[in-house]
A and B are shown apart, each in its own frame.
Chain A
Amino acid sequence: MYKAEVRGPLILGNKDYSQITRDIIAPIDARAPIWWKVAMGISLMAAAWGMVALYMTVRYGLGTWAVNNSVAWGWEIINFVWWIGIGHAGTAFSIFLLILRQKWRTSINRAAEAMTVFAVMCAAIFPAIHMGRVWLAFYIFPYPNTRGSLWVNFNSPLFWDFIAISAYLLISASFWYFGMVPDFASIRDKAKSKVKKAVYGLLAFGWTGSSKEWLRYEGLSYILGGIAAVLVVSVHSIVSTDFASSVIPGWHTTLFPPYFVVGAIFSGFAMVMTLMIVIRKFYKLEQYVTDAHLNAIARILVFISLIMGSSYATEVFMAWYGGNEYEMFTFFHNRITGTYTFMFWAMITCNAVIPQLMWSKKVRNNITALFIISLVINVGMWYERYNIVVTSLAKDYLPSSWTLYSPTWVEIGIYIGTLGIFITGVLLFFRFIPMIAISEVKSVLKPTSITKYTKKH
Chain B
Amino acid sequence: MEKKYWKSLEERNDLPVENPGSRDEDASKSLLELINEEIANKPSSRRSFLKLAGFSFATAAIATSCKNPVNTAIPFLNKPEEVTPGMANYYASTYFDGHDFCSILVKVRDGRPIKIEGNDLSSFNKGGTSARVQGSVMSLYDDGGRIKNPLIGGLDTSWEMIDQKILTKLTAAAASGKAIVILTPTVVSPTTRQLFTEFIAKYPGTKVVTYDPVSASAILQANKDCFGLQVVPDYHIEKADVLVSFDADFLGTWLSPVEYTRRWAEGRRLTDNKKNISELYVFESGMSLTGANADKRFAIKPSQQVAVILNLYNEIAVASGGKTYPAPVSTVSVKELAVKLMAAKGKSLVISGINDAAIQVVVNAINMHLGNFGTTIDLGTTLNLRQGFDQDMENLVTEMNAGNVGAIFFYNSNPVYNYGDVTRFREGLKKVPFTLSFATARDETTKLCGYVCPDHHYLESWNDAEPKKDQFTLQQPTIRNIFNTRQVQDSLLKWSGSTLDYHAAIQKYWETSLYGKQSKYGSFRDFWNHSLQEGVFELPNPAWTLPEFNSTALDTAATKTHPATKSGATELVFYETIALGNGYHANNPWMMEMPDPISKVCWDNFAAIPPKMAERDGIQNGDVLYIDERIELPAFIQPGQAEGTIGIAYGYGRSETGKVADGTGKNVFHFMKAENGFRKNSISVGTVRSIGNQYKLASTQMHHSMENRPIVRETNLSEWQKKPNAGNEIHEEYEKQKFTLYKEFIFAGHHWGLGIDLNTCSGCSACVIGCQAENNVAVVGKEQVAMTRIMHWIRIDRYYSEDPQNPSVYFQPVMCQQCDNAPCENVCPVSATNHSNEGLNQMAYNRCIGTKYCINNCPYKVRRFNWYRYATNEAFDYNMNSDLGRMVLNPDVTVRERGVVEKCSFCVQRIQEKKLLAKLENRELRDGDILPACVQACPAGAMVFGDLNDPESRISKLFNNERTYHLLEDVHTLPSVGYMTKVRNRDEGKVS
7 further A-B pairs in the complex, CB-CB below 8 A; given A132-B852, A133-B898, A400-B798: A69-B789, A132-B866, A133-B850, A133-B897, A134-B849, A156-B826, A158-B828
A73 vs B852: C-alpha distance in the bound complex, in angstroms? 7
Q: Answer yes or no: B799 CB below 8 A from chain A CBs.
A: yes
- Whether the pair A140, B971 counts as a contact (CB closer than 8 A) is no
Q: Answer yes or no: A1 CB below 8 A from chain B CBs.
A: no
Q: Answer yes or no: B55 CB below 8 A from chain A CBs.
A: no
- With A131-B851, A397-B968 known as contacts, the answer to whether A69 contacts B900 (CB < 8 A) is no
How does the 8 Å CB contact mask read for A139-180 relative to B, with 1 for contact and 0 for none?
A: 110000000001111011111001000000000000000000
- Whether the pair B784, A63 counts as a contact (CB closer than 8 A) is yes
A197 vs B711: C-alpha distance in the bound complex, in angstroms? 72
Q: Answer yes or no: A245 CB below 8 A from chain B CBs.
A: yes
Contacts of B707 in A (CB 8 A): 329, 399
- Whether the pair B788, A153 counts as a contact (CB closer than 8 A) is no
- With A69-B855, A399-B703 known as contacts, the answer to whether A61 contacts B787 (CB < 8 A) is no
A71, A242, A397: the one contacting B853 at CB < 8 Å is A242
Q: Answer yes or no: B847 CB below 8 A from chain A CBs.
A: yes
Q: Answer yes or no: B734 CB below 8 A from chain A CBs.
A: no
Contacts of B866 in A (CB 8 A): 61, 132
Q: Answer yes or no: A403 CB below 8 A from chain B CBs.
A: yes
The contact sample of 17 A-B pairs, CB cut-off 8 A, is A69-B790, A131-B849, A132-B852, A132-B901, A139-B847, A140-B830, A246-B827, A248-B859, A393-B856, A397-B709, A397-B968, A398-B797, A398-B860, A399-B799, A400-B703, A400-B797, A400-B799
Chain A facing B: main interface SS: loop
How does the 8 Å CB contact mask read for B696-714 relative to A, with 1 for contact and 0 for none?
A: 0000011111111101000
- Whether the pair A69, B865 counts as a contact (CB closer than 8 A) is yes
User: Among residues 93 to 150 in chain A, which have CB atoms less than 8 Å away from a CB atom of chain B?
Assistant: 127, 130-134, 136-137, 139-140, 150
B701, B865, B868: the one contacting A400 at CB < 8 Å is B701
- Whether the pair A61, B867 counts as a contact (CB closer than 8 A) is yes
Q: Answer yes or no: A218 CB below 8 A from chain B CBs.
A: no
How does the 8 Å CB contact mask read for A232-249 relative to B, with 1 for contact and 0 for none?
A: 000000000010011110
A241 to chain B, nearest CB (A): 10
B518 to chain A, nearest CB (A): 51
How does the 8 Å CB contact mask read for A65-81 relative to B, with 1 for contact and 0 for none?
A: 01111111100000000
Q: Answer yes or no: A366 CB below 8 A from chain B CBs.
A: no
User: Among residues 704 to 746 in chain B, which have CB atoms less than 8 Å away from a CB atom of chain A?
Assistant: 704-709, 711
- Whether the pair B861, A401 counts as a contact (CB closer than 8 A) is yes
Contacts of B207 in A (CB 8 A): none
Q: Answer yes or no: A203 CB below 8 A from chain B CBs.
A: no
A236 to chain B, nearest CB (A): 18
- Whether the pair B789, A68 counts as a contact (CB closer than 8 A) is yes
Contacts of B860 in A (CB 8 A): 397-398, 401
- Whether the pair B814, A398 counts as a contact (CB closer than 8 A) is yes
Q: Determine the residue in chain A with the shortest Cβ distance to B853.
A: A158
- With A69-B789, A325-B709, A402-B702 known as contacts, the answer to whether A132 contacts B865 (CB < 8 A) is yes
The number of chain A residues touching the other chain, given as a range, is 35 or more
B263 to chain A, nearest CB (A): 29
Q: Determine the residue in chain A with the shortest Cβ distance to B852.
A: A72
A133 vs B900: C-alpha distance in the bound complex, in angstroms? 7
A60, A136, A403: the one contacting B702 at CB < 8 Å is A403
Contacts of B868 in A (CB 8 A): 60-61, 63
B701, B795, B850: the one contacting A131 at CB < 8 Å is B850
Q: Determine the residue in chain B with the shortest Cβ distance to A156.
A: B829
- Whether the pair A132, B898 counts as a contact (CB closer than 8 A) is yes
B314 to chain A, nearest CB (A): 44
Q: Answer yes or no: B899 CB below 8 A from chain A CBs.
A: yes
- Whether the pair A132, B848 counts as a contact (CB closer than 8 A) is yes
Contacts of A45 in B (CB 8 A): none
- Whether the pair A399, B706 counts as a contact (CB closer than 8 A) is yes
- Whether the pair B899, A131 counts as a contact (CB closer than 8 A) is yes
A71 vs B849: C-alpha distance in the bound complex, in angstroms? 18
A340 to chain B, nearest CB (A): 14
- With A400-B701, A400-B703 known as contacts, the answer to whether A162 contacts B711 (CB < 8 A) is no
Q: Answer yes or no: B655 CB below 8 A from chain A CBs.
A: no
Q: Answer yes or no: B694 CB below 8 A from chain A CBs.
A: no
- With A62-B850, A400-B797, A400-B814 known as contacts, the answer to whether A69 contacts B829 (CB < 8 A) is no
A152 vs B826: C-alpha distance in the bound complex, in angstroms? 11
B871 to chain A, nearest CB (A): 13
A396 vs B968: C-alpha distance in the bound complex, in angstroms? 11
- Whether the pair B849, A248 counts as a contact (CB closer than 8 A) is no
A140, A152, A398: the one contacting B861 at CB < 8 Å is A398
User: Among residues 785 to 812 in chain B, which have CB atoms less than 8 Å away from a CB atom of chain A?
Assistant: 787-790, 795, 797-799, 812
Q: Determine the residue in chain A with the shortest Cβ distance to B897.
A: A133
A66 vs B783: C-alpha distance in the bound complex, in angstroms? 11
Contacts of B898 in A (CB 8 A): 61, 132-133
- Whether the pair A162, B705 counts as a contact (CB closer than 8 A) is no
Q: Answer yes or no: A450 CB below 8 A from chain B CBs.
A: no
Q: Determine the residue in chain A with the shortest Cβ distance to B967.
A: A398
Contacts of B797 in A (CB 8 A): 398, 400
Q: Determine the residue in chain B with the shortest Cβ distance to A65.
A: B867
- Whether the pair A245, B827 counts as a contact (CB closer than 8 A) is yes
- Whether the pair B849, A139 counts as a contact (CB closer than 8 A) is yes
- Whether the pair B788, A247 counts as a contact (CB closer than 8 A) is no
A403 vs B790: C-alpha distance in the bound complex, in angstroms? 13
- Whether the pair A137, B827 counts as a contact (CB closer than 8 A) is no
Q: Answer yes or no: A357 CB below 8 A from chain B CBs.
A: no
Closest 10 A/B residue pairs (Cβ)? A132-B850, A132-B899, A63-B867, A401-B861, A400-B797, A68-B788, A72-B852, A72-B855, A158-B829, A133-B899
A151 vs B901: C-alpha distance in the bound complex, in angstroms? 19
B819 to chain A, nearest CB (A): 10
A254 vs B899: C-alpha distance in the bound complex, in angstroms? 32
Contacts of A353 in B (CB 8 A): none
- Whether the pair A150, B847 counts as a contact (CB closer than 8 A) is yes
A254 vs B51: C-alpha distance in the bound complex, in angstroms? 65
Contacts of A140 in B (CB 8 A): 829-830, 849
A416 to chain B, nearest CB (A): 22
Contacts of A393 in B (CB 8 A): 856
- Whether the pair A156, B827 counts as a contact (CB closer than 8 A) is yes
- Whether the pair A159, B865 counts as a contact (CB closer than 8 A) is no
- Whether the pair B857, A133 counts as a contact (CB closer than 8 A) is no
Contacts of B798 in A (CB 8 A): 400
B812, B848, B852: the one contacting A67 at CB < 8 Å is B852
Contacts of B789 in A (CB 8 A): 63, 68-69
Q: Determine the residue in chain B with the shortest Cβ distance to A242.
A: B853
B814, B856, B869: the one contacting A72 at CB < 8 Å is B856
Contacts of B829 in A (CB 8 A): 140, 152-153, 156, 158-159, 162
Contacts of B847 in A (CB 8 A): 139, 150
How does the 8 Å CB contact mask read for A323-363 relative to B, with 1 for contact and 0 for none?
A: 00110010000000000000000000000000000000000
Q: Answer yes or no: A404 CB below 8 A from chain B CBs.
A: yes
Q: Determine the residue in chain A with the shortest Cβ distance to B833.
A: A153
